[in-house]
């Protein structure tokens, strides 16, 4: 039986499935990945700007980067990989854990979605008045960056409601993701497996007895730890699996 057929059979037989996704799942939709060649903006890497220190130092610059990403993402549609994962998520026992902040899983209709790093379409109060994660989908107007968004409650600075490097994940999300590591089948799809704690989930699932699979065109630090690696693009491999 070939590898895809074997995995398709496992998917059909699994009582519980968890899918962990990274930026590679949105690549076919046109969303820049973080560590790919398109991950840079001007002379900055994501790690330079996705931090509270960068925002403290220059909120306007960080907001320009997020406005640029929002503008790009607003023109993207969920791709075949999102649609297959959304279909699987309708099954009892299937959970989806995403590191992506583009909300394309939500737009594809995914149920039981755990968003580890928040959403680029939500904002929180930087001045910590407590106003959190309100939706704001305003776009760039005529190519000029947004005026820095303000908090509707205290008129302080608003920040993107995402988890920056050096910030703790929401405990409820982290616990839900860890709980999802107890499953028959764990698929890690389209992530470079370098950002923790998300990067440790495949190993945790294996430790808990899951059959673990990586779907990625490239090798990653997780490749040696999983039971099965499928070298391919999510938007091609997932539809093939769903047809088995």
Nearest to 94 by CA among 103, 105, 104, 102: 105
Catalytic option among 82, 83, 105, 117: 117
Q: Is the CA virtual torsion 200, 201, 203, 208 positive or negative?
A: positive
List Cα–Cα distances, 53 to 47, 57, 167, in angstroms: 11, 6, 11
53-92 residues in contact with ligand BV8 (CB under 6 A) are: none
The rounded distance, in Å, linking the Cα atoms of 97 and 90 is: 14
The interface region with ligand BV8, picked from 85-93, 170-178, 222-230, 231-239 by CB under 6 A, is 231-239
Contact string (CB under 6 A) for ligand BV8, positions 19-58, x = contact: ---xxx--xx----xxxx--x-------x--x--------
**Which residue is listed with tokens 């093939």?**
240
**Which of 166, 175, 179, 208 forms a contact with ligand BV8 (CB under 6 A)?**
166
The interface region with Zn ion, picked from 88-96, 130-138, 182-190, 219-227 by CB under 5 A, is 130-138
Q: What is the dihedral of CA 47, 30, 229, 185, to 10 degrees?
A: 90
**Which residues here bind ligand BV8, judged by CB under 6 A?**
22-24, 27-28, 33-36, 39, 47, 50, 99, 101, 117, 162-168, 190-192, 194-196, 198, 216-218, 220, 233-235
Give the footprint of Zn ion on this chain (CB under 5 A): 125, 129, 131, 151, 153-154, 156
């Amino acid at each position: 039986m070939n590898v895809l057929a074997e995995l398709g059979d496992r998917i059909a037989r699994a009582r519980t499935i968890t899918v962990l996704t990274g930026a590679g799942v949105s690549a076919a939709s046109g969303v820049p990945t973080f560590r790919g060649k398109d991950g840079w903006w001007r002379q900055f890497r994501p790690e330079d700007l996705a931090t509270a220190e960068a925002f403290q130092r220059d909120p306007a610059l960080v907001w320009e980067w997020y406005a640029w990403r929002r503008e790009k993402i607003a023109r993207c549609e969920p791709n075949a990989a999102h649609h297959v994962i959304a279909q699987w998520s309708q099954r009892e026992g299937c959970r989806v854990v995403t590191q992506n902040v583009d909300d394309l899983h939500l737009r594809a209709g995914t149920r039981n979605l755990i968003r580890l790093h928040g959403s680029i379409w939500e904002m929180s109060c930087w001045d910590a008045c407590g106003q959190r994660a309100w939706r704001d989908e305003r776009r760039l107007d005529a190519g000029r960056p947004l005026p820095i968004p303000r908090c509707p409650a205290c008129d302080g600075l608003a920040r993107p409601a995402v988890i920056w490097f050096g910030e703790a994940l929401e405990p409820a999300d982290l616990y839900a993701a860890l709980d999802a590591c107890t499953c028959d089948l764990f698929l890690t799809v389209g992530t470079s497996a370098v950002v923790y704690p998300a990067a440790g989930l495949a190993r945790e699932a294996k430790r808990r007895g899951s059959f673990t699979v990586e779907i990625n065109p490239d090798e990653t630090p997780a490749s040696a730890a999983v039971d099965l690696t499928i070298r391919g693009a999510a938007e091609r491999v997932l539809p093939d699996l769903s047809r088995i």
